Structure 1
Amino acid sequence: MVNTSRDKKEKYMPVLKQEKKEGSESFPEEKPPPTKIKLLNFARESYEKIKRHSDTKIYILLLLLCYCVRVWGISSPKELMFDEFHVFNNVGKYIRREHFFDLTPTLAFMIQAAIAYIFGYDGKYIAKNVGDGIPNNFPVVQLRMFNCISSCLVVFLTFYFLVKLQVSKLVAIFGALMVLIDSSLTTVSRTMIPEGFQLFLVSVSTVSWIYFRTNLTAENPKMRRFSYKSFYICLGSTSIAFSCQLSAILTLVFITIDGVIASTKLKAIEKVKENNKVKSREVPDSDNKNKTTTKAYKPIQMKSAIMKIWFLSFVVLMMTTILNQMVLSRKGKNDYMLSPEFEKSFMETREFIYDPIPRDVVEGSQVIIVSTKMYSGSLMSHNTNLNPHIPRAQRIWLQKKQTPSSAFQINVAESNKQMGNNGFLTNGTVIYLQHVNTKQYINAESQKTPGLFDEKYGDVLTKGDLVEGDVGEREWAVIISRRDETLKGNAHLTSYNTFFYLYNKKYNCYLDHVNVMGVQIIYCNRKNKGVEWRIIQHKLNIDIFNDKASTNEIGISKIQPMSLAGRIKTTLETRAKYMLWDTSGHPSSSRPYKWPIGTGDAVPIWNSKSNNRLIVILPNLAIVWLTSIFSSLVIFGWVWDGLESVVRSFIPVSEKQTESETKSADTDSIRNTRTYLNSFGVVFGVGWIIHWVPYTFISREMFLFNYSNALWFAVLGFCCSLDAATRKMNNMIKTSVIVLLMSMVLYCWIQTYPVVYGTETTHQKCGEASLLNSWNIPCRKVI
């Protein structure tokens, strides 16, 4: 007899049903195969587990969104974008074990080099420019995925952390989505730039630290404990982050300030409790004398924990530096970059270096002349109509970026050609500086320069026709600086390594420049020697990748490479001297205080001239608006608390009122803050200020390696304040508010979508997007 579907259903009924009811008929003794039973039971248990834990569904949803937003199409473009150029070349240098100097810590690059090596990259290809194609054997997808997965983990961690802070799940989901669809974070996380990895380490460090600090400084003495797990996670993640990017020192500062504030607050609460116990005592008797009072809290463990985190961070930084120099142990043409002479002069010219090998400057060398004032710029020829009486006049200008107008050719005066120096420029050599393109010379002219006090200074300009002029106006004597201790005797000029002055004999003045109303004016200073100059090779005059010098350049530099110990010592000294106090500008710098009004400088990182595709880094304006509201609440809360304490100090209060206020101080501080009913909002406000304010003052762009950390703290603080503000609302109203805010964020995301992914219609969509027109984005032209 053939079994029907009903018979089959009854056959497997013991697996699908629960315990049978009493009095019912017994089931058939025949059982299904054991493998099928296990699979069905596993499916049933998994379904019940997902049903019980609703967070799992949210994590699955966030995982799908991360794939759609950040992982999808990550292999495009198959060209180097922005700082991917440096990542690509640095990875190749590690694999080739070729010496190079990097001011930033190198652990992230070393990890990326290890990934590339595991996937079979040989490191032979050298990229010359941003936009170069990526070779087929280079694991570009794997390196981008390393950064992308790290950034996606931050999204999950944000949701998990907000839930642990007892923020409503709806607000926690909103916070995770804000981190997910911020335009700048999405753009950078889809590149090889290890920004996502850095943010992941900072977020893990922050979460573990707050958990550790909360347990250590609990107001209830019975709840205080030293959480070793969270402490060691914080210790490891902070140390690794500091070895990947020195900006992680701001996270160390945040941990220190937060720990000090928490310890001070707990100590004050302990003191209030002790005072309450003293006031509550009656007339002393024998029983009261035997009672012992509770001692005030002494945060010895907190200080020890903070010191250990700082100490281990610097130890790991030193260890990675040593490992970096040991890995790059193969001698090669770039060994000179680790010499004392190069390290001494590295910062003055690092934005202008094109020639990988120091060359001697001789008659006919085409060079770029750079000011030794930090990032002031290089000389260039600039058209002007300020002196119409001089035919074909051009004023000498100072500019940070090199253009064809920055190249000058050195011609030695006839009186110096017979000095027997083999064409080298030594101390006192008289030269002419002729512009490569216009063939005009730098001349001095006696006239008053506006804005330079009341004395007469020789102005500096170029003349196209010197037949009627005085040849002495264009004669500049090379005066090698005495502070260059490495040059002794009959020293001569070499690229990078020589400081010198340019002295005009006719007017007895030195070539100098001064900042007048934000403009660098070039003039000839009769009062003192003025600024020192450096010479670097013109990039068009030498093939830097094939190591071929032109016929006018002779590479006879005798700079010797340093020992391993010397390299390590010099690398650490250079980083400590310059990186932490780097006030240099950046061509793509953007002022964050302009963002709330929708203005600023976006950072273009890639463009395709063939099909007008464009990728730009810029923030999601809705997230900027919301986090600006949060920051305003932080400032308002602090000001309000300060004013309230000042006013209350002048108002007399009764003793009973004082006792009631002191008792209220014993309650949980998380529920009793005056800022926005959530103390963690203040904590994240401190983190946001620490990670945001320094970069506002030092003219560094806020999109890379600093804006993301500040943004993460701002999102956390905003979610805490939003949860506190909507906690007592009706569920319908609360949901409507959050949906409205999410709609704003999604609208801005749709507006920035074309420049995040570089779609085929980038320029058309960019021009149509109203929110993008106010930004400095080249929507209608290819950059």
Structure 2
Amino acid sequence: MATTAHQGTLRQRSVAGSKKNKDGASSDVELDKLVKAANQRPKAVSENDHRIAFFIITILAFITRFWGISHPNEVVFDEVHFGKFASYYLEKTYFFDVHPPFGKLLFAFVGWLVGFDGHFHFENIGDSYIANKVPYVAFRSLPALLGALTVSVVYLIMWESGYSLPACILAAGLVLLDNAHIGQTRLILLDATLVFAMACSLLCYIKFYKLRHEPFSRKWWKWLILTGFALSCDISTKYVGLFAFITIGSAVVIELWDLLDIKRPGGALTLAQFGKHFAARAFGLIFLPFLFYLFWFQVHFAILTRSGPGDDFMTPEFQETLSDNIMLSNAITIDYYDTISIKHKETKAYLHSHPERYPLRYDDGRVSSQGQQVTGYPFNDTNNYWQILPAGADDKQLNRHIKNHDLIRLRHVVTDTILLSHDVASPYFPTNQEFTTVSLADAYGDRAADTLFEVRIEHGKPNQEWKTISGHFKLIHNPSKVAMWTHTKPLPEWAFKQQEINGNKQIAPSSNVWLVEDISSLPADHPRRAKVAKKVKTLPFLRKWFELQRSMFWHNNQLTASHPYASLPYSWPFLLRGVSFWTQNDTRQQIYFLGNPIGWWIASSVLAIYAGIILADQFSLRRGMDALDHRSRSRLYNSTGFFFLAWATHYFPFYVMGRQLFLHHYLPAHLASALVTGALVEFIFSQDAVEHEVAHQAAKAGMKNQTPKHHLTARERFAGQSLLGSWVATGVILTLVAAGWYFFLPLTYGYPGLTVEQVIRRKWLGYDLHFAK
């Protein structure tokens, strides 16, 4: 009925317009033909059709994610980390992780709901869940639930964006039948939460943008705030969630730029009105998400009140806020003439020396002092013992505690020499000073100044006493003001591959921090070792938050070591390799994290096609050729362009990262590529040829300013479309994708086991699968 009414309206307007044309009869006949053709087009897809498709896809998503979720019944891959963190939450034991707390808090909440007490710490891959009575299915059900709902959200994104039924099914189907999304959402991992939050942020922003003609209404505010909340959940799960902020932020900047245009179709805004729009978006998309982000850390600190394995990553002041902390009970005030062992906070290496000398020349030709070697050694040894001497040569300070900013000398006990730094280049760093030792005679003679070091306690106060364990400090060479520093690159064989110790001119970095592990000269029954009950201290929330942020960012950037399954971003769109999650030798079963190659290659090809279409259209416009109608170009640039922007902002930033990267980092970008695929298939196979022709004939009839497309609603425009091409393309693509999904299922679900021949058949691009021999 709606279609018929629309055609009648179009007919009446066309006839009215045709009377103004000398050749009106001819134009009227042509338009009659077009209207008749339009009547023969399929009717618009009803809302019920979308609801039925949405329901079916959601059910299939739950089936694919939950099927056989109890297998394997042992710890798999990174479940050793995120399952462990849930246990620590339930035990209120402080831990450290480079990821924000939101996703891990969700796992802890699930554990609390099912009555798990956290007794199992997920120590090793392969540990049995059954033997240790762990409700692992409940834990895995959380990411499976979010993974299934992600498929539903993808469908809703396409539906809300006004795409046809086959386009919605295709985009959701590419995620539904993707082995990587399935595999990552069946285990105790964070990526399901991350991808779901990212998809929700896109959906909420689209619903917010659709209300742009109703600014500051209740619905407008609701979807703005929900967009901010989804973004906050994204970045509160992993820091790569920042990419979603870039996606939405870029779209908002473009939207604000359009609002600033004095010639905008809806009427010009005053600067005061524009300021309200800007402030509302800043409030909903920056300020509120930041408050939500802080909230999860407040919950994190409120739960983790007991000392635990994460203590060492924090400052002594932070550690003193935790009950049962070893620092509170074991810290001992350090006196002059104590013999101590000094440990580097980050690398855990001891300050060490031995009689061997630096070589005359290093490999690059530089000359050393040939002094006694001072190195970092990972094991406790008598060569790690240093006696603290006062700056003067007398014993007047024998029983005095050492305080912040005091000057000291360090005597190496075994070789009876004094620590020294001087203006000679270190073995690996020409800009850093060499550390060595000299005899007592030289230390109190000509080289006296070069043996003086300042004890600078981290965040210390004036006259604060220096203590073992809790007294983190930097040892500053007094004349040159360089800080004693070490790193993990081993020295050559002449130093027994121990760590280099040198003087760092940059004093601020936390890598210069050391601590005194123990006073070896103090007997076990000495009164100074007596443990005195101490009150747990408190710190302001923001101070704890800033300290944790610094530590998280630093350690995240240190994840640069090689990994056998790490991969580079260029390989992800082409699915060149995966990651081995789990193997069972007896049954020849394995879980190999890998996307659906057919789906990934199609989506990657469509991304290239989209870029080609945009470039071709821009070239054509520059040459005065307009091949697209207004509606098609608007959707191609705005809606599909938004999806392409989401893919680009979730993919290209990885090229500038120096940390370890894995295939799962591409999952948010892959979801965006599925959206682009659904949108572009509709663009290619379901062009509104009738409407374009009607507009063209109306223009010929002298109706340029009344082209029918200005009178068509979104629903009516779909009525004139032929979806046959889209249905065929969608059917072909999803059939191929389903075949790829089924073929790689044994690697995704971990069963059944495969023979050698079956494994070899799945090594499409040389995937490093197990049991191929």
Is TM more than 0.5 here?
yes
TM-score, normalised to structure 1's length? 0.62
Work out the CA distance in 2 between the residues paired with 1:605 and 1:496: 41
Match of 1:200 among 196, 199, 208: 196
Work out the CA distance in 1 between the residues paired with 2:119 and 2:543: 28
Give yes or no for contact 2:455–2:476 (8 Å, CA) kept in 1: yes
Shift of 1:237: 3.3
Work out the CA distance in 1 between the residues paired with 2:618 and 2:532: 64
Match of 1:585 among 559, 583, 594: 559
Work out the CA distance in 2 between the residues paired with 1:168 and 1:147: 29
Residue by residue over 1:399-421, the C-alpha shift from the partner in whole angstroms, topping out at 9 and shown as x without a partner, is xxxxxx9757453479999x999
Work out the CA distance in 1 between the residues paired with 2:154 and 2:73: 31
Residue 603 in structure 1 maps to residue 603 in structure 2: no
Partner of residue 494, structure 2:
none
Residue by residue over 1:59-118, the C-alpha shift from the partner in whole angstroms, topping out at 9 and shown as x without a partner, is 443244324421111112222223322332322233333334445332333333232222
Residue 167 in structure 1 maps to residue 139 in structure 2: no
Shift of 1:724: 0.5
Shift of 1:179: 0.8
Partner of residue 761, structure 1:
753
SS in 1 for 2:543: helix
Partner of residue 189, structure 1:
185
| Cα separation, partners in 2 of 1:415 and 1:68, compared to 1, 3 Å | closer
| Cα separation, partners in 2 of 1:261 and 1:193, compared to 1, 3 Å | same
Structure 2: runs of 5+ lacking an equivalent: 1-44, 321-326, 352-358, 360-376, 390-394, 415-423, 437-450, 491-496, 518-523, 690-721
Work out the CA distance in 2 between the residues paired with 1:573 and 1:758: 42
Partner of residue 645, structure 2:
686
Match of 2:669 among 710, 715, 722: 710
Give yes or no for contact 1:239–1:317 (8 Å, CA) kept in 2: yes
RMSD of Structure 2 on Structure 1 (CA) = 5.9
| Cα separation, partners in 2 of 1:337 and 1:691, compared to 1, 3 Å | same
Shift of 1:773: 5.0
Work out the CA distance in 2 between the residues paired with 1:356 and 1:73: 48
Work out the CA distance in 1 between the residues paired with 2:733 and 2:741: 13
Work out the CA distance in 1 between the residues paired with 2:741 and 2:530: 54
Work out the CA distance in 2 between the residues paired with 1:725 and 1:568: 55
SS in 2 for 1:615: strand
Shift of 1:560: 7.9
Give yes or no for contact 1:107–1:320 (8 Å, CA) kept in 2: yes
Shift of 1:523: 6.2
Partner of residue 16, structure 1:
none
| Cα separation, partners in 2 of 1:119 and 1:640, compared to 1, 3 Å | same
Partner of residue 252, structure 1:
245
Residue 306 in structure 1 maps to residue 267 in structure 2: no
Give yes or no for contact 2:82–2:189 (8 Å, CA) kept in 1: yes
Work out the CA distance in 1 between the residues paired with 2:330 and 2:594: 39
Residue 616 in structure 1 maps to residue 592 in structure 2: yes
Work out the CA distance in 2 between the residues paired with 1:616 and 1:150: 21
SS in 2 for 1:607: strand
* Matched ranges for 1:89-238 at <5 A: 89-134=84-129, 137-216=133-212, 227-238=220-231
Work out the CA distance in 2 between the residues paired with 1:184 and 1:356: 47
Match of 2:543 among 554, 566, 570: 570
Work out the CA distance in 1 between the residues paired with 2:192 and 2:146: 5
SS in 2 for 1:604: strand
Count of matched residue positions in the alignment of Structure 1 and Structure 2: 618
| Cα separation, partners in 2 of 1:642 and 1:580, compared to 1, 3 Å | farther
SS in 2 for 1:605: strand
Residue by residue over 1:666-715, the C-alpha shift from the partner in whole angstroms, topping out at 9 and shown as x without a partner, is x96x5334xx8352111111122222222332234555885332222221
| Cα separation, partners in 2 of 1:450 and 1:148, compared to 1, 3 Å | same
Work out the CA distance in 1 between the residues paired with 2:589 and 2:531: 46
| Cα separation, partners in 2 of 1:724 and 1:194, compared to 1, 3 Å | same
Shift of 1:493: 6.8
Match of 2:258 among 238, 241, 265: 265
TM-score, normalised to structure 2's length? 0.63
Residue by residue over 1:739-783, the C-alpha shift from the partner in whole angstroms, topping out at 9 and shown as x without a partner, is 4433443454345433322225258477414545534x352489x
* Matched ranges for 1:478-557 at <5 A: 482=456, 484=458, 486=460, 494=469, 497-499=472-474
SS in 2 for 1:606: strand
| Cα separation, partners in 2 of 1:742 and 1:224, compared to 1, 3 Å | same
Shift of 1:344: 11
Shift of 1:299: 4.3
* Matched ranges for 1:279-678 at <5 A: 294-296=267-269, 299-300=274-275, 302-309=277-284, 310-329=286-305, 331-332=306-307, 340-341=315-316, 409=381, 411-412=383-384, 429=410, 482=456, 484=458, 486=460, 494=469, 497-499=472-474, 562-563=537-538, 566=539, 568-574=541-547, 576-577=549-550, 582-585=556-559, 588=563, 589-600=566-577, 602-608=578-584, 610-633=586-609, 635-636=611-612, 647=622, 670-673=631-634, 677=636
Shift of 1:125: 3.1
Amino acid of the structure 1 residue aligned with 2:667: S
SS in 1 for 2:211: helix
| Cα separation, partners in 2 of 1:586 and 1:679, compared to 1, 3 Å | same
Partner of residue 717, structure 2:
none
* Percent identical: 16
Work out the CA distance in 2 between the residues paired with 1:699 and 1:615: 28
Work out the CA distance in 2 between the residues paired with 1:321 and 1:570: 12
Partner of residue 419, structure 2:
none
| Cα separation, partners in 2 of 1:478 and 1:619, compared to 1, 3 Å | farther
Work out the CA distance in 2 between the residues paired with 1:192 and 1:408: 38
Shift of 1:562: 4.1
Partner of residue 80, structure 1:
75
Work out the CA distance in 1 between the residues paired with 2:476 and 2:110: 48
SS in 1 for 2:210: helix
Partner of residue 658, structure 2:
699
